[in-house]
Chain A
């Protein structure tokens, strides 16, 4: 038996998990409309690859990964693209983000899927496939998985951790996935192990999920793998990546390091499952398991298409009449969804219907009594009350001295604070202020650098011009000094000087005239209705134009050839 370690701090909130695991995973019906945001992962924003009016198939790429740290997005079902436009995002801000709106045709027709044997492929190719299949961390962080699948150069990969901790109250999506689809998880973990060349694979599951532990053990045995399935003590946030790494291996990953540098890497169980589907079945990430629970008649886990609007999703659980909000994520780390139109995305692991009874309003914030309870429960051994003090005073430099960026926003400190201080909110506020300052500072530095470059260039150009003028003046003086051999020559010399003097005048006048003419033209253009025939073309029209251009091309080449031939003949 593996020796387990302990992480510091942590709390034990009511788990509230039983209601939603009474029924097996349900397949959510097709909603009337899908709103698929293009940016669903950490990293670069995928570019839209479809246009309004286009027909798409299930699994078709609609947003291409923009750079290495980015992840593709696909059409969750077949249908027609109604629009590519800004729609409300599943984000605490409630601001819109570029999304592809798809009207399903009900046929659910797939693209051609090619199952692959990853052992026959280059590791680099496997990572590419994962990126282009949209495989990201489904625990909620949505970090592109392929970017985590490289071992550090100098440190061999000791342990691969498969995270089935799921410590957040209410949430059961990983639990039910492990119960029902353990084989896929184990196979996906095998892919990760082979890519990372990890020596050991440890599956960590909180011990309040005995069924999941049993199912995973059975699957590991059946597939003949040597993974260790370990039940870890239930204590929030045992499912945090750093906490689970600590519990299973005893390794502390500091904020300044990435875990591969310590010879360990961690993936969520659902991520492993989607990686397996992507490689061995050619199925990109189109749906995920989402827990629907809280103030609903029928709590349950659903396999639901990404892009399903919250409205259609919550209807499946029959929310009770006093439901006044929906949280995305768990009660500790989640946020309130900005509205019923916001879609479910890859980061959505759980939707909790809330009511005033379920989540009574917070008692008013009281002054901090420096009891130290928050520091005791902080799993990262931070001093929340100090960070709070400075965040409140907007003294962000000090918050950084107290390592605010080590804070994982787990909410333990707010949970225990006897003064009901929303500590995490202060930390989020301070962090985003610091980030924004950093951005501004970088922009100001860049602007300054460009300004200085430009001034240098101006000066250089001025110097060069002065030099040129000086040289010209010297040349002119030389002409004048030259002995006047005949009157006529002197006269021509004079006229040339006059011409030189007159030329700039003329040029000046011409320039002015052209500017005036151009201004006139521009004014007329603005007054007359601007021709819009090259804007807002439909896809069909654009295709037509492209065809015509293609037809023209050979003709143009031909005529160019003819012209060449003729001119060469003439030369002869």
Chain B
């Protein structure tokens, strides 16, 4: 009887130690849910959701503080994906959906004040004090944060139009011509 209890106790101790060790050794860095949510957010870092960047918004969603329909750049597709992930209801986007844009600096007017550089969350603007600034189009996420700070209003947003490189085959609906 006593040996049986001892064996059970020993077993419990060993397993407990193993579990404790595993929980330290294989500790997951960060909150996996936040990471999953963040992977869905578009990383535009525009703050239109009311949070200072995509990660804070992801954290707020994970904590159940925020609705899932606050990110305009993510659009309805983003809302749907979040709803899928979190098992919540799909809600209409709490803003207008906009096509993807890039910012463009009118280089003739730029006075080189560096204010837009400080505003850009993703370092997409190059320039130096009193020098002309310009936006690296391929890095710009279209967050519009640089528009307001510019004292001479020389930054405008332009919609990225369809071109041969980003063109996509359409969902086959009308165009059903038989060719053979």
Q: Which residues of A contact B (CB under 8 A)?
A: 13, 39, 89, 91-93, 95-97, 169, 325, 327, 331-332, 334, 336, 354, 359-365, 411, 415, 420, 422, 425-426, 428-429, 431-433, 435-436, 439-440, 443-448, 450-451, 453-454, 515, 518-519, 521-523, 525-526, 530
Q: Which residues of A contact B154 (CB under 8 A)?
A: 522
B112's nearest neighbour on chain A, judged by CB, is A518
A457's nearest neighbour on chain B, judged by CB, is B123
Whether a CB of chain A sits under 8 angstroms from the CB of B108 is: yes
Against A, the Cβ 8 Å flags (1 = close, 0 = not) of B51-86 are 001100000000000000000000000000000000
Whether a CB of chain A sits under 8 angstroms from the CB of B2 is: no
B167's nearest neighbour on chain A, judged by CB, is A93
Q: Which residues of B contact A433 (CB under 8 A)?
A: 168
Choose among A169, A364, A519 the residue that contacts B151 (Cβ–Cβ < 8 A): A519
Known: A361-B177, A451-B53. A426 touches B172 (CB 8 A): yes
Against A, the Cβ 8 Å flags (1 = close, 0 = not) of B140-162 are 01000000000110100000001
Interface centre among A13, A433, A443, A530 (most CB of B within 10 A): A443
Is A522 touching B111 in the complex (CB atoms < 8 A)? yes
* A301, B84: Cα distance in complex, Å: 56
Whether a CB of chain A sits under 8 angstroms from the CB of B171 is: yes
A364's nearest neighbour on chain B, judged by CB, is B176
* A95, B169: Cα distance in complex, Å: 13
- Per the 8 Å Cβ criterion, residues 91-149 of B in contact with A are 108-109, 111, 113, 121-124, 139, 141
Is A450 touching B179 in the complex (CB atoms < 8 A)? no
* A522, B112: Cα distance in complex, Å: 11
Is B43 touching A447 in the complex (CB atoms < 8 A)? yes
Is A518 touching B172 in the complex (CB atoms < 8 A)? no
For the complex of A and B, the 5 pairs showing the least CB-CB separation, nearest first, are: A362-B178, A331-B180, A425-B172, A444-B43, A432-B168
Q: Which residues of A contact B152 (CB under 8 A)?
A: 518-519, 522-523
Choose among B141, B169, B178 the residue that contacts A429 (Cβ–Cβ < 8 A): B169
Choose among B42, B163, B176 the residue that contacts A444 (Cβ–Cβ < 8 A): B42
Is A429 touching B168 in the complex (CB atoms < 8 A)? yes
Known: A332-B180, A360-B178, A415-B180. A451 touches B172 (CB 8 A): no
Tell me how many residue pairs across A and B have CB atoms closer than 8 Å: 115
B166's nearest neighbour on chain A, judged by CB, is A436
Choose among B42, B111, B122, B175 the residue that contacts A450 (Cβ–Cβ < 8 A): B122
Q: Which residues of A contact B175 (CB under 8 A)?
A: 425
Is A428 touching B177 in the complex (CB atoms < 8 A)? no
Q: Which residues of B contact A431 (CB under 8 A)?
A: 169
* A522, B113: Cα distance in complex, Å: 12
- B interface size (C-beta, 8 A): 37
Q: Which residues of A contact B44 (CB under 8 A)?
A: 447
A430's nearest neighbour on chain B, judged by CB, is B169
Whether a CB of chain A sits under 8 angstroms from the CB of B170 is: yes
Listed A/B pairs (16) with beta-carbon separation below 8 Å: A89-B164, A91-B164, A91-B167, A95-B164, A354-B179, A429-B170, A432-B169, A433-B168, A448-B45, A450-B124, A451-B45, A451-B54, A454-B122, A515-B151, A523-B152, A525-B108
Is A448 touching B54 in the complex (CB atoms < 8 A)? yes
B111's nearest neighbour on chain A, judged by CB, is A518
Q: Is the interface of B mostly helix, strand, loop or mixed?
A: loop
Q: Which residues of B contact A93 (CB under 8 A)?
A: 162, 164, 167
Q: Which residues of A contact B167 (CB under 8 A)?
A: 91, 93, 95, 432
Is B169 touching A359 in the complex (CB atoms < 8 A)? no
Q: Which residues of A contact B45 (CB under 8 A)?
A: 447-448, 451
Is B180 touching A454 in the complex (CB atoms < 8 A)? no
B130's nearest neighbour on chain A, judged by CB, is A518
* A142, B176: Cα distance in complex, Å: 27
* A325, B164: Cα distance in complex, Å: 21
Is A519 touching B111 in the complex (CB atoms < 8 A)? yes
Shortest Cβ distance from B49 into chain A, in angstroms? 14
Is B108 touching A530 in the complex (CB atoms < 8 A)? yes
* A435, B168: Cα distance in complex, Å: 9
Shortest Cβ distance from A25 into chain B, in angstroms? 26
With A362-B177, A518-B113 known, 5 other A-B pairs at CB within 8 A are A96-B164, A440-B42, A444-B42, A518-B151, A521-B111
* A402, B162: Cα distance in complex, Å: 29
- Per the 8 Å Cβ criterion, residues 20-57 of B in contact with A are 38, 41-45, 53-54
Choose among B43, B124, B171, B179 the residue that contacts A445 (Cβ–Cβ < 8 A): B43
Interface centre among A91, A169, A332, A432 (most CB of B within 10 A): A432
Q: Which residues of B contact A334 (CB under 8 A)?
A: 179
Q: Which residues of A contact B139 (CB under 8 A)?
A: 446-447, 450
Q: Which residues of A contact B42 (CB under 8 A)?
A: 440, 444
Q: Which residues of B contact A523 (CB under 8 A)?
A: 152
Q: Which residues of A contact B180 (CB under 8 A)?
A: 13, 169, 331-332, 359, 411, 415
Is A425 touching B169 in the complex (CB atoms < 8 A)? yes
Q: Which residues of B contact A411 (CB under 8 A)?
A: 180
Q: Which residues of B contact A440 (CB under 8 A)?
A: 42
Shortest Cβ distance from A121 into chain B, in angstroms? 35
Choose among B121, B164, B170 the residue that contacts A451 (Cβ–Cβ < 8 A): B121
Choose among B113, B166, B168, B177 the residue that contacts A359 (Cβ–Cβ < 8 A): B177
Is B176 touching A422 in the complex (CB atoms < 8 A)? yes
A16's nearest neighbour on chain B, judged by CB, is B180
Q: Which residues of A contact B53 (CB under 8 A)?
A: 451
Choose among B111, B164, B179 the residue that contacts A331 (Cβ–Cβ < 8 A): B179
Q: Which residues of A contact B113 (CB under 8 A)?
A: 515, 518
Shortest Cβ distance from B8 into chain A, in angstroms? 47
B154's nearest neighbour on chain A, judged by CB, is A522
* A450, B163: Cα distance in complex, Å: 26
Shortest Cβ distance from A459 into chain B, in angstroms? 13
* A521, B121: Cα distance in complex, Å: 29
Interface centre among B141, B151, B179 (most CB of A within 10 A): B179
Interface centre among B45, B108, B154, B164 (most CB of A within 10 A): B164
Shortest Cβ distance from B68 into chain A, in angstroms? 18
Q: Which residues of A contact B41 (CB under 8 A)?
A: 444
Q: Which residues of B contact A447 (CB under 8 A)?
A: 43-45, 122, 139, 141
